[in-house]
Amino acid sequence: MRGYLSDCDIRVPGSLTEALAMLSGEPGVWTPFAGGTDLMVVYNAGRLKATRFLDLSGLAELRGIQEEGACLAFGSLATFSDIRDHRAVHQHFPNLVKSARATGALAIQNRGTLGGNIVNASPAADTPPSLLAYGAELELVSSRGRRRVAYDHFHLGYKQMDLAADELVARILVPKPEGRSFHYFRKVGTRQAQAIAKVCLAAHVRIVDGNLAELRIGLGSVAPAPVRARNAEAALLGKSLTDLPVLAARAALLADMSPIDDIRASAHYRSVVTQNVLGHMLRELANV
Amino acid sequence: MADRINLVMKLNGEERSVNVHPFARLLDVLREDLRLTGTKEGCGEGECGACTIFLNGQVVNSCLVPAVQAQGAEVITVEGLARGGELSPIQAAFVAHNGAQCGFCTPGMLVAATDLLNRCPNPTEDEIRDGLAGNLCRCTGYSKILDAVQTAAADGASR
């Protein structure tokens, strides 16, 4: 049974300033709405608690993907299709292209947005592991001003974020990798399209003189929120490509996960498969 | 309680206006208010593709679009694919290859296939599978659908 239409309201602010004034004027009352690919699903299932929505989709201030110094800056309304079609994203962030292609199918990718994927805060979303792997930073905006938060400090727990009721994600800034880079993205689902991840792992490694000079690994579907695999990273950092401590990294990865049993997979499956995916990533890394 | 809006769209080439709730699903506006029942509701959660339409030139799941987001938009439904009573090439190819069994997924398949051939006139089989990945056929008649899209692409290339 769907939500009750007569209870719902959706307003279309004419500018970002107007949208922020509505959010700060009645904190917690208005739910930001962009592509609707998550909120409408919950509404159609009759499980959406929110009834008053703020349609951000027309706000030009939140659109676009632009080079900005050492970063690529994604407006929070950048769609998955915008990401998969953008030349600079292909050039610098192949994991983000793969994440965008792995999200739903084309009709979802045309509507769903990067900002929405972040603030919907599903642990199973496909772009967050890549954003974690690339060291992304979020720019939040409110009537009080702007502030930046490192993305790996943004998710605080299941659907809990460092985001006040009057704030919106304005932009996602991702530093462009320099030097010799290795990129890896793997989503395990029931099929290639339209599947929600059982397990997702994205990694970015900067290689200097044959050693792992910098690396970040992002995980999806194995914790209450998207998380970095800090223990596995620590086991690998500084190591040589010719002598990667695969078993130690796999063992360390267990401490990075707190998976649950649900309709998509068991906790045991998630632990084992995430370790296997890490092993696959390290075999590819050893061969670069 | 929201005020109803006068929703104006260019629908299948004609300007149409309709008085609706701003959060009404575009799917319901098309089917219930405008009586264009070619667009189907399958899952109601953006997974099956039966409700696929063009919104401003892009395929979308109309079950996930609130009416207010179609204000001033160009919308094309399956009813808008034929021109002057003539089936479009992809529709004709579906007929020729028996690309419809029960027919419920067919409107969404036709819209998605039209979009695919607009973007990619000579698709590989993988590209066809990718382009139609968001459209499910419960009759599992996928091979005839693939044949139809390949034929329409080949006919388009030979013209």
Q: CATH topology for A5-55? A: 3.30.43
Same domain, B76 and B97: no
Least confident of A192-196, A263-267, B96-100: A192-196
The answer to the question of residue B102 being in a domain is: yes
Contact flag B134-A2 (C-beta cutoff 8 Å): no
Same domain, B97 and B114: yes
Same domain, B71 and B100: no
**Which of B46, B68, B133 is the closest to A37 by Cβ?**
B46
Own/partner long-range contacts of B123-128 (Cβ < 8 Å, ≥24 apart): B123/B149, B123/B153, B125/B150
Residue where one domain finishes, among candidates B59, B80, B101: B80
Q: How far apart are CA B74 and CA B82, in angstroms?
A: 16
Helices (H), B13-141: 26-28, 89-96, 106-119, 125-131
Structure tokens at A170: 């304005």
A237: confidence class by pLDDT, cuts 50, 70, 90 = very high
Same domain, B64 and B109: no
pLDDT tens-digit series, residues A3-15: 889 999 999 999 9
pLDDT at position A1 is 66
B69 in contact with A at a CB cutoff of 8 Å?
A: yes
The H or E element containing residue B154 is helix B142-158
pLDDT at position B159 is 60
A222: confidence class by pLDDT, cuts 50, 70, 90 = very high
Contact flag B2-A10 (C-beta cutoff 8 Å): yes
CB distance A258 to A214 below 8 Å: no
Same domain, B13 and B70: yes
| Count of domains for chain B | 2
Same domain, B109 and B131: yes
CA nearest B24 in A: which residue? A5
Residue from A189, A231, A220, A211 nearest A286 by CA: A211
Q: How far apart are CA B22 and CA A111, in angstroms?
A: 18
- Which residues of chain A does CATH 3.30.43 include? 5-55
Mean pLDDT, range A245-269, rounded to an integer: 97
Q: How far apart are CA A64 and CA B156, in angstroms?
A: 34
Same domain, B22 and B71: yes
CATH of the domain at B100: 1.10.150.120
The answer to the question of residue B74 being in a domain is: yes
CB distance A162 to A131 below 8 Å: no
Interacting residues of A17 by C-beta distance below 8 A, sequence separation 6+: A143
Same domain, B74 and B50: yes
Residue type, A46: G
Interacting residues of B63 by C-beta distance below 8 A, sequence separation 6+: A40, A44, B25, B26, B27, B41, B43, B44, B45, B46, B51
Show which of residues 93-152 on chain B sit within 8 Å of chain A, judged by CB atoms.
112, 115, 130-131, 133-135
Mean pLDDT, range A128-156, rounded to an integer: 98
List of chain A residues whose C-beta atoms are within 8 Å of the C-beta of residue B133? 105-106, 192-194
Q: How far apart are CA B126 and CA B104, in angstroms?
A: 24
Of 1.10.40.30, 3.40.50.2030, 3.30.465.10, 3.30.390.50, the CATH number of A180-286 is 3.30.390.50
According to the 3-state scheme, what is the secondary structure of A155-202? EEECCEECCCCCCEEEEEEEECCCCEEEEEEEEECCCCCCCCCCEEEE
Q: CATH topology for A60-175? A: 3.30.465
ipTM for the predicted complex comes to: 0.96
pLDDT tens-digit series, residues A95-107: 999 999 999 999 9
CB distance B29 to B69 below 8 Å: no
Same domain, B42 and B76: yes
Mean pLDDT, range A245-254, rounded to an integer: 98
The answer to the question of residue B40 being in a domain is: yes
The answer to the question of residue B159 being in a domain is: no
CA distance, residue A3 to nearest chain B CA (Å): 11
Best of A110, A120, A187, A192 to disrupt the B interface (most B CBs within 10 Å) is A110
pLDDT at position B1 is 66
Same domain, B40 and B94: no
Question: How do the pLDDT tens digits run along chain B, 159 residues long?
Answer: 689 999 999 999 999 999 999 999 999 999 999 999 999 999 999 999 999 999 999 999 999 999 999 999 999 999 999 999 999 999 999 999 999 999 999 999 999 999 999 999 999 999 999 999 999 999 999 999 999 999 999 988 666
Angle, helix B142-158 to helix B89-96, in steps of 10 degrees: 130
Same domain, B46 and B103: no
Residue from A202, A207, A222 nearest A264 by CA: A222
A194: confidence class by pLDDT, cuts 50, 70, 90 = confident
CATH of the domain at B43: 3.10.20.30
Same domain, B9 and B75: yes
Residue where one domain finishes, among candidates B80, B104, B134: B80
A55 in contact with B at a CB cutoff of 8 Å?
A: yes
Q: How far apart are CA A85 and CA A173, in angstroms?
A: 18
Show which of residues 171-200 on chain A sit within 8 Å of chain B, judged by CB atoms.
192-194
CB distance A48 to A42 below 8 Å: yes
B66 in contact with A at a CB cutoff of 8 Å?
A: yes
Q: Which residue range is the domain that position B64 belongs to?
A: 5-80
Residue where one domain finishes, among candidates B80, B100, B132: B80
